[in-house]
Structure 1
Amino acid sequence: MSLYLAELYSPKPAWLALDASQRAAFFALVGGGMEALAAMGVEVLAIGARDAGKIHAASHAFFALWRFPDEAALDALLAGIAATGWHDYFDTINAAGADVGFEAHLAQLAALS
């Protein structure tokens, strides 16, 4: 069963204060860990800027959608992100879990009390 992570994130003032060379150095750090994560089966499904014109648009400026073969791969990505200092530069919200399918999800919602 695959696991998924949806991230929403926006830059903090600390990111906006970095110059181009500092940002490039940070991106090199972030990119350096991606090969090992890909070898674990971590997949980027989609990544980009959110469309603020859609109904109920998130307040965060960017999104990333990830797929993982297991909990270890998911935890490795989350740990790797934190280790880079990402959260010093970006306000992030994470939602992670397993895909249960449409009908099972409706059952989850119906069971709420």
Structure 2
Amino acid sequence: MAHYLAELYSPKPAWLALDPAGRQRFFDGVGAGMGALMALGVEVLAMGEVEAGSLHPAPQRFFALWRLADQAALDALLGGIAASGWHDYFDTVNAGGRGTDLGGHLAQLAAVA
């Protein structure tokens, strides 16, 4: 079964202080690493800004949802994100693992001791 990663993140002061050219250099570096990750089965499902007006919103400002072929692809994505310097610029919370269907997840919840 596929693996998934949900990221929630907000800019740090270092990002806010970065000028437009510095931000573009950072984005260029991130983009350069994406081809190798996609070859491993990394797929972007959606990215965007958290809607602060929704019920129980996350305190982070942005989100990214990824589908991955397997645990190795998840590990590669997390490693690539860290190696890019992402965490220097964004406070990030990750939730990742193997996906299941509704019945499988309800069984996981029921089994919690």
How far did 1:41 drift?
A: 1.1
TM-score scaled to structure 2, two decimals? 0.97
Q: Any idea what the Cα deviations from partners look like across 1:9-42, whole Å, max 9, x if unmatched?
A: 0000000000000000000001100111111110
CA distance in 2, matches of 1:12, 1:100: 33
Structure 1 equivalent of residue 8 of structure 2? 8
How far did 1:52 drift?
A: 0.7
Structure 1 equivalent of residue 89 of structure 2? 89
Structure 2 equivalent of residue 20 of structure 1? 20
SS state of the match for residue 43, structure 1? strand
CA RMSD of superposed structures (Å): 0.7
CA distance in 1, matches of 2:97, 2:70: 10
SS state of the match for residue 26, structure 1? helix
How far did 1:76 drift?
A: 0.7
How far did 1:57 drift?
A: 0.4
- Map residues 88-107 of structure 1 onto 2, 5 A cutoff: 88-107=88-107
Output the amino acid matched with 2:45: L
Output the amino acid matched with 1:56: H
Structure 1 equivalent of residue 63 of structure 2? 63
SS state of the match for residue 30, structure 1? helix
TM-score scaled to structure 1, two decimals? 0.97
How far did 1:100 drift?
A: 1.7
How far did 1:63 drift?
A: 0.2
Structure 1 equivalent of residue 54 of structure 2? 54
| Conserved? CA contact 2:71–2:97, under 8 Å | no
Give 5+ residue unaligned stretches, structure 2.
Answer: none
Output the amino acid matched with 2:81: I
